[in-house]
Structures are given as C-alpha cells and as structure tokens.
Amino acid sequence: EAGVAQSPRYKIIEKRQSVAFWCNPISGHATLYWYQQILGQGPKLLIQFQNNGVVDDSQLPKDRFSAERLKGVDSTLKIQPAKLEDSAVYLCASSLGGQGIYGYTFGSGTRLTVV
C-alpha cells in the first residue's frame, strides 16, 4: 500500500511571501490531518478533515493559514503571508477512522524555512 505523499520536501521562502503544501493520503482514508512540528517540539494539530469537511480547525491561525480538501482526497495547506515563526515541518497524516483501531499514517513532511 502506498504511503501518505507530501510535496515539496523542502521549501525556503522570505517572510511575507506565500507558500503551499500538498498532501495525498492513503487511498480510502476518510480522515486527513495537518500537523505543524516546530524544531524541538511535538507535532501540533492545525486542521482535521473528514472527507471534504472540516472537523477541527481550532488551532489553525486563520488570518494567514488556509487549507482545503476538494473531493475528499488530496489536500493543500497554504500560508499567506509567512512569518519567521512559521518555520517548521508540516506533516500530513491520514486514517480510516479513530479510537486507535486503525491507526494513523504520517507522510515524510515538508520542511519550511522562512528567512
């Protein structure tokens, strides 16, 4: 089974520029997550989708971050404008369902550096 695909792998941008990340989850996984992992910290949930609907975006900085999951498959996460503190690894994960039964599969992440 193919894993969770993310691109690009690395991105360097200047502050105030915009950037977009792409995620393709495991086929058939209804739930998709975006996490932000700042260096030296654990991943923090930004947004959770169930099919193409948002379940939880309470920790998404909506003034600059946006995400969508059209057709309930691929997802994009956008930052506009970027700040220095947005430098982090952005992880995408997918799951068949919750309650620990099916588990979560993570992509390799996109490492963003804002200079």
Q: Which residues bind another protein (CB under 8 A)?
A: 31, 33, 40-45, 48, 55-56, 91, 93, 95, 97-101, 103-104, 106-109
Query: Using alpha carbons only, what angle is made at residue 55 by residues 59 and 3, rounded to the nearest 5 degrees?
Result: 90
Closer Cβ to another protein, 15 or 44, answer by number: 44
Residue 80 Cβ, how far from another protein at the closest point, in Å?
25
Q: Is 100 left (phi over 0), alpha (psi -120 to 50) or beta?
A: left
Q: How far is the CB of 4 from another protein (least distance, A)?
A: 8
- Cα→Cα distances 8→30, 52, 81, 91, Å: 23, 22, 18, 11
Question: CB neighbours of 25 closer than 8 A, spacing ≥ 6?
Answer: 4, 32, 73, 74, 75, 92, 94, 105
Pick 87 or 105: Cβ nearer another protein: 105
CB of 14 to another protein, least distance (A): 25
Shortest separation between residue 108's beta carbon and another protein, angstroms: 4
Q: Which residue, 28 or 40, has its beta carbon nearer to another protein? A: 40
* CB closer to another protein, 79 vs 91: 91
